């Protein structure tokens, strides 16, 4: 059973943006040796004719420093700050197809890619192609502001192919810091965050129960997207109480605090990874280039991690969205 944590978290996972913005240790620069390893793995994969997502670890072998780097990525995501930005691929002049292979190949050595939608897409394209006025359009398919949330996997990755003309900042916030702030400002609310609420998760016929926070086996885990919570209660015909709305309002005020959140621009070739149990992510609105070929484009990867934290029974893990058979 999960227990209620009633003291602040002091581990590196409880970071504040105002502190990290003055410290670039969260940016990992691939060394020349690692970049050489990437180039060798890419060449072998292409020689075999393998294409994403139909490649495996053997198609993209890693060794030496690159192998050690990947071990570090996994450790930092689970037991460190819970996120990282990886730079260096832009030096190599890779095209979109090459970058996709490299990104997916590294992901295979970190964990297991999982489906991101009912179509079974293993590598998602994050670009503005949808009509924001259509109910079934997911926000990441538009150029609108994307509210803070966690995804349905242990880890989420984003690879930047092209930036927007203006805007499109990636924004992260530590779930542990949000928890600490609630504990400091309104400790009487903490118990409510452990109370199961209906989440309207994608891929489920009906909203299912999950708390926002869970503390189990010495680690905190978070699941959040306010719209999914509000839609979940509405579909299940359950009303949020006044105090529950106050708690959600408090969380939203904390995650939008300029001193707590971390904003960054993902430059072409940058890879960002974040632990979905410890980091909420968002994106500012953006304006695209008039040339369709220059539109903002990122590739998204959802990973099930072998070193992921053990979750409480009342906080069920959700790794991917089950693909539906074509009608």
Q: Work out the mean pLDDT of the chain and round it to a whole number.
A: 93
**Could you tell me if residue 187 is inside a domain?**
yes
Q: Residues 152, 316: contact at Cβ < 8 Å? A: no
Per-residue pLDDT band at 1 (split at 50, 70, 90): low
39 membership: H or E segment, kind and range: helix 32-47
| Residue range of the domain that includes 47 | 17-304
- Average pLDDT rounded to a whole number, residues 102-112: 98
> What is residue 325's predicted lDDT score, i.e. its pLDDT?
63
Taking alpha carbons only, the member of 201, 197, 225, 199 closest to residue 211 is 197
Q: What span, in angstroms and rounded, lies between the C-alpha atoms of 185 and 139?
A: 31
Q: Tens of pLDDT along 123-171?
A: 999 987 555 455 454 445 667 889 999 999 999 999 999 999 999 999 9
> What is residue 143's predicted lDDT score, i.e. its pLDDT?
75
CATH number of the domain to which 204 belongs: 3.60.130.10
- Structure letter (DSSP) for residue 24: G
> What is residue 254's predicted lDDT score, i.e. its pLDDT?
98
Pairing mode, strands 27-29 and 83-87? parallel
Q: What span, in angstroms and rounded, lies between the C-alpha atoms of 82 and 120?
A: 26
> What is residue 322's predicted lDDT score, i.e. its pLDDT?
86
> What is residue 317's predicted lDDT score, i.e. its pLDDT?
87
**Could you tell me if residue 7 is inside a domain?**
no
Q: Tens of pLDDT along 204-260?
A: 899 999 999 999 999 999 999 999 999 999 999 999 999 999 999 999 999 999 999
Q: What is the 3-state secondary structure (H, E, C) of 144-203?
A: CCEEEECCCCCEEEEEEEECCCEECCEEEEEHHHHHHHHHHHCHHHHHHHCCCEEECCCC
Residue 287 scores a pLDDT above 80 = yes
Task: For the chain, give the percent of residues with pLDDT over 70.
Answer: 94
List the Cα angle 39/159/280 in 5-degree steps.
140
251 membership: H or E segment, kind and range: helix 242-255
Q: Tens of pLDDT along 33-78?
A: 999 999 999 999 999 999 999 999 999 999 999 999 999 999 999 9
**Could you tell me if residue 309 is inside a domain?**
no
Beta-carbon contacts of residue 22 (< 8 Å; ≥ 6 apart): none
DSSP 64-117: HHHHHHHHHHHHHHHHSSSEEEEE-GGGGT--HHHHHHHHHHHHHHHSEE---S
**Could you tell me if residue 324 is inside a domain?**
no
> What is residue 45's predicted lDDT score, i.e. its pLDDT?
97
Least confident of 45-54, 108-117, 265-274, 287-296: 287-296
> What is residue 137's predicted lDDT score, i.e. its pLDDT?
44
**Could you tell me if residue 322 is inside a domain?**
no
Q: Residues 88, 102: contact at Cβ < 8 Å? A: no
Task: Give pTM, 2 decimals.
Answer: 0.93
Number of domains in the chain: 1
- Average pLDDT rounded to a whole number, residues 10-36: 96
**Could you tell me if residue 10 is inside a domain?**
no
- Average pLDDT rounded to a whole number, residues 96-119: 97
**Could you tell me if residue 327 is inside a domain?**
no
Per-residue pLDDT band at 312 (split at 50, 70, 90): very high
Q: What span, in angstroms and rounded, lies between the C-alpha atoms of 236 and 263?
A: 35
**Could you tell me if residue 4 is inside a domain?**
no
Q: What span, in angstroms and rounded, lies between the C-alpha atoms of 151 and 287?
A: 24
Pairing mode, strands 219-222 and 146-149? unpaired
Q: Residues 324, 115: contact at Cβ < 8 Å? A: no
């Amino acid at each position: 059973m999960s227990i209620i944590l009633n003291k602040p978290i002091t581990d590196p996972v409880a970071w504040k943006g105002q502190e990290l913005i003055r410290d670039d240790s969260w940016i990992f620069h691939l060394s020349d040796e690692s970049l050489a390893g990437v180039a060798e793995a890419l060449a072998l994969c292409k020689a075999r004719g393998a294409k994403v997502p139909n490649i495996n670890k053997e198609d993209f072998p890693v060794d030496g420093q690159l192998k050690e780097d990947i071990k570090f990525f996994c450790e930092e995501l689970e037991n460190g700050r819970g996120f990282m930005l990886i730079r260096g691929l832009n030096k190599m002049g890779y095209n979109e197809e090459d970058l996709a292979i490299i990104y997916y190949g590294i992901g295979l050595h970190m964990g297991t890619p999982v489906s991101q939608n009912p179509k079974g897409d293993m590598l998602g394209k994050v670009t503005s192609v949808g009509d924001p006025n259509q109910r079934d359009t997911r926000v990441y398919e538009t150029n609108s502001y994307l509210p803070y949330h966690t995804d349905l996997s242990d880890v989420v990755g984003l690879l930047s192919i092209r930036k927007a003309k203006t805007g499109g900042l990636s924004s992260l916030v530590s779930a542990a810091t949000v928890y600490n702030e609630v504990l400091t400002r309104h400790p009487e609310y903490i118990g409510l965050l452990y109370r199961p609420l209906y989440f309207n998760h994608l891929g489920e016929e009906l909203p299912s129960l999950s708390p926002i926070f869970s503390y189990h086996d010495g680690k905190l885990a978070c699941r959040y997207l306010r719209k999914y919570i509000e839609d979940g209660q509405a579909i299940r015909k359950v009303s949020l109480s006044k105090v529950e709305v106050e708690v959600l309002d408090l969380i939203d005020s904390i995650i939008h605090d300029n001193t707590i959140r971390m904003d960054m621009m993902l430059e072409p070739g940058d890879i960002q990874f974040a632990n979905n149990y410890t980091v909420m992510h968002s994106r500012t609105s953006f304006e695209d280039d008039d040339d369709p070929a220059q539109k903002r484009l990122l590739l998204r990867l959802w990973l099930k991690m072998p070193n992921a934290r053990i979750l409480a029974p009342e906080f069920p893990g959700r790794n991917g969205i089950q693909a539906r058979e074509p009608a």
